[in-house]
Amino acid sequence: MSENSAFVKAKQYVESHLHDSDALRKGTIGPCITISREAGSGSGLIAEKLIQLLKPLSKNPEDTWAVFDKNLIEKVLEDHHLPKQIAKFLGEEKKSLLTQTMNELLGVHPPLMKLYHKTTETILHLAHIGNCIIIGRGANIITASLKNAYHVRLVAPLELRIKNVQEFYGNTKAEAVAFVKKEDAKRNVFIKDHFNKNTEDPLLYHFIINTGSFSLDEVAKIIAESVRIKFPKFYEE
């Protein structure tokens, strides 16, 4: 799925729930699934397969679902009326203090902490809508106190993750190795800097699964079943 089409689907999802304010009051908000992942462990494909499995199981088959990954940044920009050029500052990559300070002084972007606060607001908004999957951005920590949140961590052997990156992006092995190492380090630093947490702490998650031990279809089925068990009132027996 292209990033543009993913954002269109996400936008439609939000718009379809704009007038669903009764759900908050009645406690009928569907699950918000967060996915923390090691690079190359298959999060995007698993998220899409997970939705395909959960929708038919729902007691309300018309429920609209969406995945928020890279398109989450687009949602933040839209929610807070920020210019498109701000997008590059909303990723998980750490910017040096000097770069942050100079850019803020020169008016290149607002203070980064304000941008991250806006991302947090958007994640909480999506979680309160429910029936969504949010990948990365510390969403499991941001939504930790919400009763409808379910936190998954995907891990896999390094060689398999390198192979997955090669196949998905068409990289050489050396490029894939560099990508995996950089992405893992970037995500770990992001969580440490912004939440003072360790991504490898198992207590941050309801469920941790080694995607190298199963096919992606099997992983999605296992997670779907665990979600159904956790939130039985939303799913058929």
Domains, the chain: 3-229 (3.40.50.300)
Please say whether the beta carbons of 130 and 108 come within 8 A.
no
C-alpha 126: how far from chain center: 11
C-alpha 116: how far from chain center: 15
Handedness of CA 67, 70, 73, 75 (dihedral sign): negative
The pLDDT of residue 190: 86
Structure tokens given for 209: 């699964």
The pLDDT of residue 64: 81
pTM for the whole thing? 0.75
Instruction: Render each residue's pLDDT in the chain as its tens digit; 237 residues.
Output: 555 555 455 555 555 555 454 554 455 788 999 999 999 999 999 999 999 999 888 887 777 888 888 665 555 555 544 444 434 434 545 444 344 433 443 344 444 455 666 778 888 888 888 889 999 989 999 999 999 999 999 999 999 999 999 998 898 999 999 999 999 998 999 899 888 999 999 999 999 999 999 999 999 999 999 999 999 988 876
Distance between CA atoms of residues 171 and 175, nearest Å: 6
The pLDDT of residue 65: 85
CA dihedral 132, 207, 236, 53 (to 10 degrees): 60
The pLDDT of residue 235: 81
